[in-house]
Amino acid sequence: MENSQNRKEAQLEQFRVNNFGKKMTTNQGLKVSNDEDSLKAGVRGPTLMEDFHLREKLTHFDHERIPERVVHARGFGAHGEFELHRSMKEFTRAKFLQEPGTKTPVFIRFSTVVGSKGSADTVRDVRGFAIKFYTEEGNFDLVGNNIPIFFIQDAIKFPDVVHAIKPEPHNEMPQAASAHDTFWDFVANNQETAHMIMWLMSDRAIPRSFRMMQGFGVHTFRLVNEEGKAKFVKFHLKPLLGVHSLVWDEAQKIAGKDPDFHRRDLWENIEHGNVVEYEIGVQMIDEDDEFMFDFDILDATKIWPEEIVPVRMFGKITLNRNVDNVFAETEQVAFHIGNVVPGIDFTNDPLLQGRLFSYLDTQLLRLGGPNFAEIPINRPVCPFHNNQRDGFSRQRIDVGQVAYHKNSLANNTPSTSTWKEGGYVHYAEKVEGRVIQARSESFNDHFSQARLFWNSMTGPEKRHITDAFIFEVGKVQSASVRQQVVDMFVNVDRGLAIAIADAVGVNRPEGQQVDVTASSPALSQSTTPKYPNTLKVGVLIGSGFNGKEVKAVVKALLNQGVAVDIVGEHLGSLTGADGVKVMLNETFLTTSPVLFDSLYIVGGKSKNQAKFESDIREFINEAYRHYKPIGVASTGEAIFNKSDAKPGPGIIIASESGVEFPSTFIQAITEQRFWNRNIYTN
């Protein structure tokens, strides 16, 4: 212990010697005057390639890890198709968005952001939601997240937020977690993060499944039609099964019981032919209305509230095929936000502008050079011709003597295409302004939308956010950082900040919350659709069960698309009192209550009755604490009565008079959580 402390103090002293009081420079030793903003043509203009500091910082960051992705290392993908239901010809010339019924192959990769490739699926984190559309005009990559905003406003800050949230470099801990000093120190000292932190502390950061998770393009893009007229847009994906989440205690336990929980769920549902579908749409704003809102539409830390700017749905994505090889497909897929087709264009969002550089630079390192587009998962389905040659891992054998443009030896082929011929022409946006490192003043409001998000939450959702803050900030060792966080989030909600302060041992804040009373019901998961299909029920059973009763209930569940696992003391067959046999596919040791959406307590007999009943009670108690529905068969009531669970919301007991058990139980499963259950009463 003493040696460890001495080493830590020596390291701290060395850090002070190397860094304290020193001025920031580039790697060439040039002193840096601004490390907050990239160089732009005007405060709301495009980012300039002249910004050598931005390029050096992003290049170094992109090359920090090999071969694992720097962020989004933990991922899982699947194939499918996009079908256009509503023509978007009025708004874009993109061919795959013209004729209803057009189908386009897609590949989607879901991921966590912070953890390494070997980390768990259910950690509290942002989820990547990246889609590659293999269109007839080339690949279009929609590289987004399951949260519609981001931590920062300018790409030059991206290495900083990732360095802060990654495991601390002196001990490489904690893995795949934001509950540590450097992250919350970054948050408190970079208050543009406020809105994103509210989402990160919400249930959105612990989704129930990739199949029940929204997707967002995050940035403001443009759609451009055949006449050259443009609209500002944000992309949205909404799961047909609704948006559902785990509870934090459950998520932590699943990480230990099944760290592959999300990828297993996606794989198994696709293998079983279950529906994995998302509607896709856009919010649109006319160019003339760019400045009519109380937020800047180019600010990546802001949403466009759906009640103000509705989402226009135009198609559906269906995932229907698992990968054949995770490395060849999921690991080698190379998404790039700059992969667009005619009719889809960019804006001056400074976070988007930096990503346009960074993604390509990253792929050059990860995939061994410039020929990564020839890897099968990245290859377009349309023909491609150009004068690019050679390089690492070249797969195509080029012939002929000409590899330049313009030429006469090959009759000037390959030749360029005009706008009318489908050539990509950048939107002719007027750009003017002084070359400057600054941000528009319209980016300065960091708390109004964070407050809007808080106002939109239900009571249980607010309680979960508060508990998440207390857990995360409670892990911070620095009292100064804990105090700074509390003082920051009083701007969002005073009650929230006081609850955090009291729990983490710092002073209550003195400031006041922003005066925002508006809410956006679309932000609350309480408004999401709910369905029973593909939810999973654990049937806890012993010998001597009522075969007729169990068969009827299981049949009703399966008819509604509910997945059923029969759980007992051993694998194999089990016989009921009436001679009915069931096959057990899980045991109390091989599964866990946190892996089920609901339990059906059948009970029965066992050679070791005390152990059998104890195992079932543990399952009941866990599910009850996580607000899940529990069905109780006539033979299971005695065991249920010995548990901590009490009759009430979400508890369906077969012996109760007037209860149509199968249908009532299915209704409870559909509801998924019963937040009005008081789990703390005796």
Q: Which residues are catalytic?
A: 72, 145
Report how far apart, in Å, the C-alpha atoms of 355 and of each of 299, 372, 665 are: 14, 18, 48
Nearest residue to 87 (alpha-carbon basis) of 313, 278, 310, 311: 313
List b or e across 511-523, with b for residues whose CB sees 16 or more CB atoms inside 10 angstroms.
eebbebeebbeeb
Instruction: Give the C-alpha separation, 642 to 657, whole Å.
Output: 21
CB atoms inside a 10 Å sphere around CB 540: 28
Under 8 Å between Cβ of 48 and 41? yes
Query: For residue 328, which amino acid is it?
Result: A
| Token pair 């991206």 in the structure block, residue | 158
Give ∠ CA 119-123-125 in degrees, rounded to 5.
110
Dihedral-angle region of residue 561 (phi above 0 means left; psi in -120 to 50 means alpha; beta otherwise): left
Q: How far is C-alpha 375 from the geometric centre of its chain's CA atoms?
A: 26
Three-class secondary structure of residue 457 per DSSP: coil
Nearest residue to 154 (alpha-carbon basis) of 1, 35, 288: 35
Query: For residue 277, which amino acid is it?
Result: E
Q: How far is C-alpha 173 from the geometric centre of its chain's CA atoms?
A: 22
DSSP-assigned letter for residue 506:
-
Three-class secondary structure of residue 420 per DSSP: coil
Instruction: Give the C-alpha separation, 410 to 390, whole Å.
Output: 19
